Structure 1
Amino acid sequence: MQATILQIEDNEEIGSWLSEFLTDKGYKVIWLNSGMPASEHVTAADLIILDIMLPGLDGYTIGQRLKSKHPDKPILMLTARSSIEDKLQGLSFADDYMTKPYHPDELAARIQILLRRSGAITNDIVEVGHLRVDQKANRIINTNTNKDIILTGKQFHIFMYLLDHSNQILTQAQIYEAVWEEPYIKGDRTLMVHIRHLREKIEINPGQPQIIDTIRGIGYRLNQ
């Protein structure tokens, strides 16, 4: 099923590029250059991408009104406003907040996450290289051999966390604290060991991984 994104962006250059990018990703896009007509289109949208600096009513006001009437519609704030005050104000009603400039792959990943959470994307099968991931059945299948890949609980949790943030660089601390649910201590090699064993199971050549990249000095990224 094709998801529909309501894009509210008044900058012609940014709006045109973003609309084309989202269309290329397979989404139907409704692009508005102000928030005033948003209420006429919101029911047709699965997700709203909203700028703050808009003519007339600002993005905060538009977002709060849309969220109060349509609480199940995910809102992603996409703006150049990067202060902590702006982020906190945006996140008081929005589901996510990204600042410009941004990497297109990270934007695509965040959109996927919001659509999955809202139920707008119901396809439980995800293809990652030679892997077929059945998210409903919690199965990972090697399509080259058509055999299940058996992971430990922690390996599976790491893989799914990376998958939920695919194409996004995650720090070691982010991954560790999400999986182990305790503070990360710098220098702890626990995650590194688990990633190595995970690669031995999912990569065609663990010495030259194609699915999970190491981002030196930062962390890891799953390529999808």
Structure 2
Amino acid sequence: MVELEVAQGGVGSRTRVLIVDDDVRIGQALGLALDDEGFDVDAVHTGEEALSRAGAPEIDLVLLDLMLPGIDGLTVCRRLRDAGDLPIIMVTARSDSADVIAGLEAGADDYVTKPLVAGELAARIRALLRRRRPAPATPRRLLLGDVELRPDEGVVLRAGEPVHLTRTEFRLLAELAAAGGRIVTRDELLSRVWGYEYHGDTRLLDVHVRRLRRKVEADPDRPTVVLTVRGAGYKAGQVERRPDPAVPDTEPVPGWRG
């Protein structure tokens, strides 16, 4: 078994992308295209290599093919996500729901389908990396039932216990909490959290909502924190704002927009 510890954020002046694809030619072509877009690229061709290389501190993001020899892409994705918050974009040859949902449920932040267009892929990478930047410090606390959200610290507690959310999940919860119980449409959430319009495909959002509920809800099948408004979007349950008593309560609550 490959031991894995994922580094949180890379170093250097250019973003380094780890491409994981068993087709050497595709890896080379993507590497050249992403280099033209301003990224540095490493390429590996098996799941075992991916798990080993992803632990390097200079890796900022993983572009992960589903179809891999040895350890498959879904298993690699789950193990990367269990190890930390390294951004993952899943690559699939098909856009059908089964493949896409499986990849997102495994922990991918986003997905793209083949054939890949370098400019679109570069935009997706930049949008995902923007979500790793910390929000401006605003000493506020938001309570949603027994869930406490601290946007300035990037902290979520449920019943006083820390809850680990990915950066994407945190931004999603923060956007809903910042709306103060108002409905936020799916398109608004896609634009604010992912940073681009997703052509009406809400699978990305809906799977992340399910993942978020499993972490913050006492009973994910009967949610009280993240509520679905049928035909409209989502909203947070009852929100209570609690300012830091040492700081005047004058600034708006950030939505962690990239």
The TM-score bracket by the shorter chain reads 0.5 to 0.7
Alignment partner, residue 84 of structure 1: 97
1:86–1:2 CA distance, 2 compared to 1 (3 A) = same
Q: 1:53 aligns with which of 51, 61, 67?
A: 67
Alignment partner, residue 111 of structure 2: 97
**Which 5+ residue runs of structure 2 have no aligned equivalent?**
1-12, 135-187, 201-228, 234-258
Alignment partner, residue 181 of structure 2: none
Is the 2:15–2:39 contact (alpha carbons within 8 Å) kept by the matching residues of 1?
Answer: yes
- Residue 30 (structure 2) pairs with residue 18 (structure 1): yes
SS in structure 1 opposite 2:22?
coil
**Quick one: higher RCO (CA 8 Å, sep 6+), 1 or 2?**
2
- Give per-residue Cα distances to partners, 1:99-126, cap 9 Å, x unaligned: 1123322211111111111239xxxxxx
**Which 5+ residue runs of structure 1 have no aligned equivalent?**
121-157, 172-180, 185-224
Q: How far 1:82 moved relative to its partner?
A: 2.3
1:37–1:12 CA distance, 2 compared to 1 (3 A) = closer
Q: How far 1:65 moved relative to its partner?
A: 0.8
Q: How far 1:170 moved relative to its partner?
A: 5.0
Alignment partner, residue 4 of structure 1: 16
**TM-score, length-scaled by structure 2:** 0.46
Identity %: 39
Alignment partner, residue 164 of structure 1: 195
Is the 1:50–1:76 contact (alpha carbons within 8 Å) kept by the matching residues of 2?
Answer: yes
- Residue 93 (structure 2) pairs with residue 62 (structure 1): no
- Residue 65 (structure 2) pairs with residue 34 (structure 1): no
Is the 2:20–2:65 contact (alpha carbons within 8 Å) kept by the matching residues of 1?
Answer: yes
**TM-score, length-scaled by structure 1:** 0.53
Is the 2:37–2:119 contact (alpha carbons within 8 Å) kept by the matching residues of 1?
Answer: no
Is the 1:73–1:118 contact (alpha carbons within 8 Å) kept by the matching residues of 2?
Answer: no
Structure 2: which amino acid aligns with 1:79?
T
C-alpha separation in 2, matches of 1:94 and 1:112: 15
Q: How far 1:183 moved relative to its partner?
A: 5.1
1:164–1:54 CA distance, 2 compared to 1 (3 A) = same
Which structure: greater helix fraction? 1
Q: How far 1:39 moved relative to its partner?
A: 2.7
Q: How far 1:81 moved relative to its partner?
A: 2.9
Structure 2: which amino acid aligns with 1:59?
G
C-alpha separation in 2, matches of 1:27 and 1:104: 11
RMSD: 3.1
SS in structure 2 opposite 1:53?
coil
1:183–1:105 CA distance, 2 compared to 1 (3 A) = farther
Alignment partner, residue 114 of structure 1: 128
Structure 1: which amino acid aligns with 2:103?
G
Q: How far 1:164 moved relative to its partner?
A: 3.4
Structure 1: which amino acid aligns with 2:96?
S
C-alpha separation in 2, matches of 1:22 and 1:119: 21
Structure 1: which amino acid aligns with 2:118?
P
- Give per-residue Cα distances to partners, 1:23-63, cap 9 Å, x unaligned: 12221211001121223321331100000111111100111
SS in structure 1 opposite 2:63?
strand
Moved over 4 A (4+): 168-171, 181-184
Is the 1:109–1:164 contact (alpha carbons within 8 Å) kept by the matching residues of 2?
Answer: no
Is the 1:7–1:50 contact (alpha carbons within 8 Å) kept by the matching residues of 2?
Answer: yes
C-alpha separation in 2, matches of 1:19 and 1:41: 16
- Alignment: residue pair count: 136
Alignment partner, residue 134 of structure 1: none
